[in-house]
A and B are shown apart, each in its own frame.
Chain A
């Protein structure tokens, strides 16, 4: 799939999603429910001082990034000591080719996969299928999306949030399900279908929440247990990780894990927290006999040297999506990329370029709620503002926008022009008025008045009214 999820224009994409009533209601329900739980469990963490934990976690992640070369080196040495192999991939193609070649060389027929954003990013599923390998996504949501002809994920933690149970029933019905649209029955069907796949797969592929430099361990969190089966059963296993997933020590991992489940789904802990250290003991009846870690750059090193470096602290918890007022209205697919919400707004243009994603930074009201809840202490709204600055001042992506801002700058820096402009505004907006409100805006105003009315411009300017009031006039 890669980072971009479809070829529609940004506006077409947005309009389509704004007309999807179920999806929009699902986003509201998800935000309300997850946020309530998140606030509850964070209030119960220690003495409830989330800011202290947030600061600490930010320090841990920032320290790793400042010494990323050292910790990746240390981590790879320890993976080898644990009997594994490490491949450093500079881009998506190198990473997916490595895993695909490995599968071909080992005669792999079937792969069981656990949910992983970075494997989406490098297009691994399709690379494996292109060489005739049977790929089974095992996370319930990803399994549904796979059966729905690889429908793209709309949320980082709940990828199938945009599908309702009837749609899911219909997807399953094409694959042998004969029951009703009851979530318990649908999940039981998936369980029955996938159970045997885990123990007959030749290869298990999974991501990595945190990689621990001091031991070479891969840490994974989940609720379903599919990750544990992917890490337990197949004889050949591959973990694919973005290079920034590192933490220095188990002690540091503790803080990050403590915040991850709470921030992601509002739970004290996910049902399963797993540490994988490579191959099993000699003679073990199950578990990995061969283990590989693929460490992916794919544009991250460019981010590391940029003013956006802080975004690499991200834990992929989706707390920023769950609080964002824009995401609430438009849903994950409107970002046209696998990374959505405020994180997607910051990260996607950095990994995939501004050309296809120059609209993303404007999907933000700069309210700052994302920064408030971020467990890695990333000032996401400041990074979005920086994107806007780069687009306006360095990329100059919109001649109209540039001219508008220059015009505004000229008027606002000249008092006589400002006075003239504010004096004639009531006159200029008169043709747009209806029932005492501005209803038929033109140019930039049209985007607003298409959806809602704008109050009329007062005939008396605020400055004039205030001056008159100070002199005892109209109050």
Chain B
């Protein structure tokens, strides 16, 4: 099979059209459904209120995870100091970070001076570094108040496995990126898609890796990071 091929579509689709009793329509108007309850959640909240809700829901997750998830609301002036503290909280070890100029803009260059910076040109070395990293550091592209989720929108310099292989994760959540719920996240992806931008992956992440597959007992860190800390920065 060549790249970019579609196989067996014609017979498959025409069978469905026959079953539906008509030709395949050239266009389908998306209907207005009976209600839109999703738009009422946190409606009219300010960014400060949304940050408080994000933090509150992260604290609920913290309680549910036995402290594996944590969140702090801080100011930008305290970011470097707090990141430095969080990167040794569970012992010292290798750190991996995105190749993102905002770290320097936010005075984090010194804190991250020993971190391995994801560099796509180095190929496989990046993945090996992520596999052995004790800490990962990232910046949320879009943050969801209702579920205390951060979002990683894939692009060069971030890496994919770098988000899931380190043992511990520190995520910087600029307050300006917080939206009420997944609804607004989906609106953003819809707008991007309309412009022809479909990132290879978009990951919404709201917790440490967990499983209840053994006698329904919740355990943490099955495959992804074991611990996750959000730093909600009120003036970013």
Contact = CB atoms under 8 A, between A and B. Distances in A.
A and B assemble together: yes
Interface of A: 26, 29-30, 33, 46-47, 49, 52-53, 55-56, 59-60, 63, 66-73, 76, 78, 80-90, 94, 102, 138-141, 144, 158-161, 164-165, 168, 183-184, 186-188, 190-191, 194-196, 198-199, 214-217, 223-226, 228-229, 231-233, 243, 248-251, 253-255, 257-258, 265, 268-281, 283-288, 290, 295, 297, 301, 304-305
A297 B50 CA distance: 44
B213 A46 contact: no
Interface stretch (B108-116, B133-141, B184-192): B184-192
A301 B223 contact: no
Contacts, number: 308
Given A186-B214, A286-B159, A85 B6 contact: yes
B160 A232 contact: yes
Interface stretch (B35-43, B82-90, B170-178): B35-43
A301 B16 contact: yes
A108 B51 CA distance: 46
A275 B159 CA distance: 15
B67 interface: no
Interface size of B as a range: 35 or more
B154 to A, nearest CB: 7
A60 B33 contact: yes
B5 A285 contact: no
Ranked nearest first, the 8 interchain pairs of A and B with the lowest CB-CB distance are A225-B224, A232-B160, A88-B12, A250-B186, A141-B213, A225-B209, A271-B207, A88-B8
A229 B202 contact: no
A161 B216 CA distance: 8
Given A70-B24, A72-B12, A73-B13, 8 more contacts: A81-B198, A188-B221, A225-B224, A226-B223, A273-B204, A283-B121, A285-B121, A285-B159
B72 interface: no
Nearest to A90: B12
Given A274-B204, A275-B189, A283 B216 contact: no
Contact of B126 (A55, A87, A249, A285): A285
B31 interface: yes
Contacts of B16: 68-69, 72, 243, 301, 304
